[in-house]
A and B are shown apart, each in its own frame.
Chain A
C-alpha cells in the first residue's frame, strides 16, 4: 500500500529512473547514518556506564574502608587509649549506700528560721564587754 503510494508520488513528481535510483541511495545512506549515530551513542553511553560502574566500585571500596576506620576508632580499646593519651583517668567506681528514708516535718514553717530575740541587757553587756556572735 505504502509502496504503491510512494510509487504514485514518484510518478506525480515525474522523476526519471536515474533520479529514483539516486533517491533510493540517499534514503539508504540516511538510514546508515542514523544507524551509525545511534550505534555511536550507544557505544558512548556504554563506555560512560562502564566508567561510572568503576567509579561506583571505587567509592564503595572507600566507603567500606572509612566505615572500618570509623568502627575501629570507636572500639572500647581505642577509646580507652585515646582517653589515656588526653590525660584522662578512670574515676573511682560508684559506691552504693543503703537508702534511708528522710524524716521531713511537713508541719514546720517554710523558709529560714527567725533569729532568736536577744534581750536588751545582753546586747548592752556584749557591747561593753565584747562577746556574742
Chain B
C-alpha cells in the first residue's frame, strides 16, 4: 500500500518547480475569483430553484406532464321482479368541433358531411367552422349509429365524446314510458329526478373515481403511468317488486278508463297483499322519460304519492274495522238511518239522501251509508277512532321508497271538532295520499297486519326487509273481509265482479267531492279498492279517477268509473299469476 502511494506521489515530486511571476499570479487569482463568483451565482440560483422554489416548479412541471382523469361510474340498472330491465344506460355521443384545426378549403366538405350525418342545416356548422374556435359542440346526445358513421368519415377537427344516457321502455299509453311516474328520470347532469331514480340516486349513481397519469405531447394519457387516486365504485342495480306485465296492463286500462269517463286524471296502485311490495304503480296522464326535457314539468308530480286526496267511502273500511276491533259494533249491530244525521248542529247526509231505515253495519258498508259510519265512530269514541287512524298509518307518511311523499299533518285529537271527526269517518275532510290508503285497506287483506308499502326488493344481491305491525285482530280482519265480500256480492261493488271470483272478492267503492279554495265543488274523486281472492289475498288494488265527467252524478261515482278499471286490471293479474278461485276448475 505504501509502495503504491509512493508511485503515485513520485511523478509530482519529480516535476520541476515553475516560478510564477507576480503579475501572472494576480491574473490567475483574478480568474479564479471570477470563476468562483460565477459558480457561486450558479450554485445560488440552483439552490433557489432546487430547494427554495422546488414545490412551485415541481407543481408547474406536474401540470405539464400529469393529467388528472375522472372515471365516471356506470349507473345501476333497474329491473322488475322477474329480472326484466326497466331502466338501462346506453352510450350516446356529443359531437365536438375544433374549428381551428380545419383548413379553410376543407370547411365546406366538413360542414356538408356533418350536416348529412346529423341531419342539421349546414349553414350554422359552416359559421362555426369560420369562427376558428378551438372547442364547440355541434350536436349533443347523438345515437351510436350516427357516431359510427362520423367515425368512419374521419373528418378533421371533429371528435366524439361518449356520454351515458338513461333509457326507459315504452309504456302502456301512447307516447309514455313504462312506470314513468314511479321511476322518474336521470337529468343531463346524471342526477336522478323524481321517483325511484331520485330516492335511490346515491345507490344507483355509485362513486366517481380519479386517476393521475402522465400525458404525452398531444395531451393523451399514457396508460402505463396511471395511478389510481380514488377508486371508482359502480352504481348498484335495483330489483323492484314491480311486475312489468301487470304494470303495462294497468297503464293501458287506466288510460282507457280515464278517456272513457272524460276524466282529468287517474291513478292505480297494486300491492302484494302479504309483502306490501308494489306490483303496479300507474298514473294517467304520464310522460315520456326519454324525452323529459320536452315534457311539461307538471306531469312529473306523481299523483299517487305527491298529491293528497279525500278518500271518501273507502275510509269506511278503516272506520268500521276500528269499531269492530274495539268491540263497539258487530256486523249485525243495527242503527236507524233516516238518510241524515245531526252532529253538533250540522246535518250530514247519506250520499243518496234517501231514507234507509233500520240497517245493520253490514248493510252500512254494502250501501255505503255515511250516517252508519258516523254512528260507528260515535259508538267507538273519538279517542279510539284516532288510535285506529294512527294504527292504520293514516297520520304519518307511508314511508314508501319513492321520492316526494306528501302527507297532511293531522291536528291532535283534542283540536278536532265533532263535525270534523264525523265527516272523517266517511272520508271527507281528511286528506291522505293514495299509497297510505292502499296500505290501510291492505291491513284487512293481510289478516290485520300493516306492512310497509315498498318498491325495491333487492339492492344488488342484498334483499331488503321492511317493517310490519299487527293493527287489528285477525278475527276483525276476517269479519271485515266478509263485509267487503258482501259489498261485491250485494252492494255497490257489483261492477267489479269477476266471473268465477264473485264469491271470493272483497271491495269497497268511494266517491268524494274535491275541495277548491276551501269549498267543495261538483268535481269528484271516484275510487274503488279491493283485494282478491278474498279468503287468501294475492293483491290489493286501489283505483282513483279524478274529476270524471259522465254528465250524471250517478255515473261519476266510484262504482261506475273506477270499479270497471279495477276489474280489467284484476283479470289480467288473474291470468298472469294463474290465480284460481278456491274449489274451482278452469275451462276454456
A residues near B (Cβ < 8 Å) are 42-43, 45-46, 49-50, 53, 57, 60-62, 64-65, 67-68, 71-72, 74-78, 91-99
Contacts and interface: CB of A to CB of B under 8 A. Distances in A.
B220 interface: yes
Contact of B584 (A75, A92, A99): A99
Contact of A98 (B224, B244, B583): B583
Contact of B575 (A43, A57, A60, A94): A94
Query: Which 6 A-B residue pairs are closest in the complex by CB-CB distance?
Result: A96-B500, A61-B91, A76-B248, A49-B223, A96-B584, A71-B85
Contact of A97 (B221, B245, B574, B585): B585
A94 B573 CA distance: 12
Interface in B558-588: 571, 574-575, 580-581, 583-588
Q: How large is the interface on B (under 10, 10 to 19, 20 to 34, 35 or more residues)?
A: 35 or more
A59 B581 CA distance: 50
B499 interface: yes
Interface string B455-485: 0000000000000000000000000000000
Contact of A76 (B220, B244, B580): B244
B249 interface: yes
B351 interface: no
15 contacts: A46-B225, A50-B220, A53-B223, A65-B91, A68-B167, A75-B244, A91-B588, A92-B588, A94-B500, A94-B575, A94-B587, A96-B499, A96-B580, A97-B500, A99-B584
B252 to A, nearest CB: 9
A99 to B, nearest CB: 5
Interface in B216-274: 220-225, 244-245, 248-249
A97 B223 contact: no
A96 B575 CA distance: 12
A20 to B, nearest CB: 18
A92 to B, nearest CB: 7
Contact of A65 (B144, B223, B500, B574): B144
A93 B90 contact: no
Contacts of B580: 96
A48 to B, nearest CB: 9
Contacts of A46: 222-225
A72 B583 contact: no
Mostly helix, strand, loop or mixed at chain B's interface? mixed
A75 B223 CA distance: 41
Q: Which of A45, A46, A50, A74 has the most CB of B within 10 A?
A: A46
A78 B88 CA distance: 17
Contacts of B401: none
B581 A96 contact: yes
A72 B169 contact: yes
A93 B575 contact: yes
A115 to B, nearest CB: 34
A71 B169 contact: yes
A68 B91 CA distance: 11
A74 B169 CA distance: 10
B248 A77 contact: yes
A77 B172 contact: yes
Contacts of B585: 96-97, 99
Interface string B143-179: 0100000000000000000100001011110000010
B137 interface: no
B196 to A, nearest CB: 17
Contacts of A61: 90-91, 144, 162
Contacts of A95: 499-500, 586-588
Contacts of A91: 588
Interface of B: 84-85, 88-91, 144, 162, 167, 169-172, 178, 220-225, 244-245, 248-249, 499-501, 571, 574-575, 580-581, 583-588
A74 to B, nearest CB: 7
A6 B171 CA distance: 83
A14 B585 CA distance: 110
Most B CB contacts (10 A, CB to CB) among A49, A68, A91 go to A68
A88 to B, nearest CB: 16
A43 B90 CA distance: 32
Contact of A78 (B90, B91, B170, B588): B170
Contacts of B172: 76-77
Contacts of A43: 222
Nearest to A61: B91
Contacts of A71: 84-85, 88, 169
Contacts of B587: 94-97
Given A68-B167, A96-B501, A49 B88 contact: no
Given A46-B222, A67-B88, A76-B248, A99 B575 contact: no
A75 B178 contact: yes
- A49, A67, A71 — most chain B CB neighbours (10 Å): A71
B91 A64 contact: yes
A93 B571 contact: yes
B90 A65 contact: yes
A85 B588 CA distance: 24
B192 to A, nearest CB: 18
A94 B244 contact: no
A86 B225 CA distance: 57
B36 to A, nearest CB: 30
B226 to A, nearest CB: 9
A42 B223 CA distance: 10
A115 B220 CA distance: 98
Nearest to B151: A58
A60 B499 CA distance: 50
A9 B45 CA distance: 43
A49 B245 CA distance: 44
Given A49-B223, A67-B88, 20 more contacts: A43-B222, A57-B162, A60-B91, A62-B144, A64-B88, A65-B91, A68-B88, A68-B167, A74-B84, A75-B169, A75-B170, A75-B244, A77-B172, A94-B586, A95-B586, A95-B588, A96-B580, A96-B587, A97-B585, A98-B584
Nearest to B224: A46
A78 B248 CA distance: 11
Contacts of B588: 91-92, 94-95
Nearest to B578: A94
A39 to B, nearest CB: 11
A45 B90 contact: no
Interface-centre pick from A74, A77, A98, A99 (highest chain B CB count, 10 A): A77
B254 to A, nearest CB: 14
